[in-house]
Amino acid sequence: MEKYIIGNLKMNLLTQAERNHYLSSFSSELKKSKFPNSKIVLCPPCLHMEKFVGILQGAGVEIGAQNIFPEERGSFTGEISPLMVKNFGGKYTIVGHSERRRYFDETNAVANEKIKLALGSGLRPIYCIGETEDERRRDLTFDVIAGQLEEGLAGIANTQADKLVIAYEPIWAVGTDAVPTSDEVMEVKILIRKILSELYSPEMAERIPILYGGSVKSRTALEVCVEPGMDGVLVGRESLIPIEFLKIANIIDKAQ
Ligand code: 13P
């Protein structure tokens, strides 16, 4: 399967100057390598999306949103419609990120609505799941993951499932520099694949990319992605440094 190297820029790039500097440095780093086996995706703040699409889409980078509201249009002050993202050139949206679950009460049920609207609007949802440190300590990882998948993907038809992307992001590894071992990642990946094959046909389950996210760096990419056989990564902090992000992409792309 093609690999997915996805950057979640979160709430960064605060000025036009900073944004423009990022884009020019990303573009010039991009010219130094080819990624024949991977899709490179960046999810900037929505305010920057149009510019990112304009500058990077032609260079083969796809753009996504970090969040959407689960309605097409209307009186939802402050929210972004999935159709807006689509019409402004976005192809993906992150859904259910642990920071949204934590600060905005985004439950599995809310994530489910967003996934449905994203698919209905022609966006590919990148559905984030993962356990807290406490849940792992109490041996609840598998139950948490199963619940997040079953509730978050409820009612998503087999025919739509090939548009899904799953990102396993253990919450204790997000923004911390702690990473699970390769075996720990692989165990969860096997569980996710098993649940997907219960929800969908086995062929379809095989086609859904399962990514790893949480403190991915060039020095951890082999351990958290390549060795456990993940289909790519969702990168936070390192995606803010184009040379580092593309170094990660190179390691994963060339490790086929
Ligand atoms: P870090 O790579 O900064 O740990 O963030 C991971 C993440 O939340 C990506 O969505």
**Which atom number of ligand 1 is nearest to the Cα of residue 176?**
4
Whether 123 shows a pLDDT value over 70: the answer reads yes
Residues 6+ apart with CB under 8 A from 169: 97, 98, 128, 129, 130, 212, 213, 214, 234
Instruction: Report which ligand 1 atom has the smallest distance to the Cα of 216.
Output: 2
- 138-168 pLDDT, tens digit each: 999 999 999 999 999 999 999 999 999 999 9
pLDDT tens track for 63-122? 999 999 999 999 999 999 999 999 999 999 999 999 999 999 999 999 999 999 999 999
Given a cut of 90, whether residue 237 has pLDDT beyond it is yes
Q: What proportions of the chain, in percent to the nearest 5, are helix, strand and coil? A: 50, 15, 35
Decide if 69 contacts 76 (C-beta within 8 A): yes
CA 249/CA 218 separation, integer angstroms: 9
Residue nearest to atom 9 of ligand 1 (CA): 236
Tell me, in angstroms, the distance from the centre of ligand 1 to residue 200's CA.
28
CB of 174 within 6 A of ligand 1: the answer is: yes
Q: Is the CB–ligand 1 distance for residue 64 below 6 Å?
A: no
Q: Is 215 in the pocket of ligand 1 (CB under 6 A)?
A: yes
- Residue 213 CB–ligand 1 contact under 6 Å: yes
- In contact, 89 and 58? CB cutoff 8 Å: no
State the Cα angle at 132 between 126 and 137, rounded to 5°: 140
Q: Please give the angle made by the CA atoms of 40, 37 and 41, to the nearest 5 degrees.
A: 10
Asked whether residue 217 carries a pLDDT value surpassing 80, the answer given is: yes
* Predicted local confidence at residue 78, as pLDDT: 97
Global pTM exceeds 0.95 = yes
Residue-number span of the structural domain to which 117 is assigned: 3-254
Tokens of 153: 């993907």
Q: Is 50 a catalytic residue?
A: no
- pLDDT greater than 80 at residue 256: no
Number of structural domains (the chain) is 1
pLDDT at 216: 98
Catalytic residue among 62, 131, 169, 238: 169
Q: How many whole angstroms separate alpha carbon 247 and alpha carbon 196?
A: 31
Q: Is 21 marked active-site? A: no
Are 152 and 127 in contact, with CB atoms under 8 Å apart?
yes
CATH of the domain at 147: 3.20.20.70
Instruction: Establish whether residue 234 lines the binding site of ligand 1, counting it when its CB lies within 6 angstroms of any ligand atom.
Output: yes
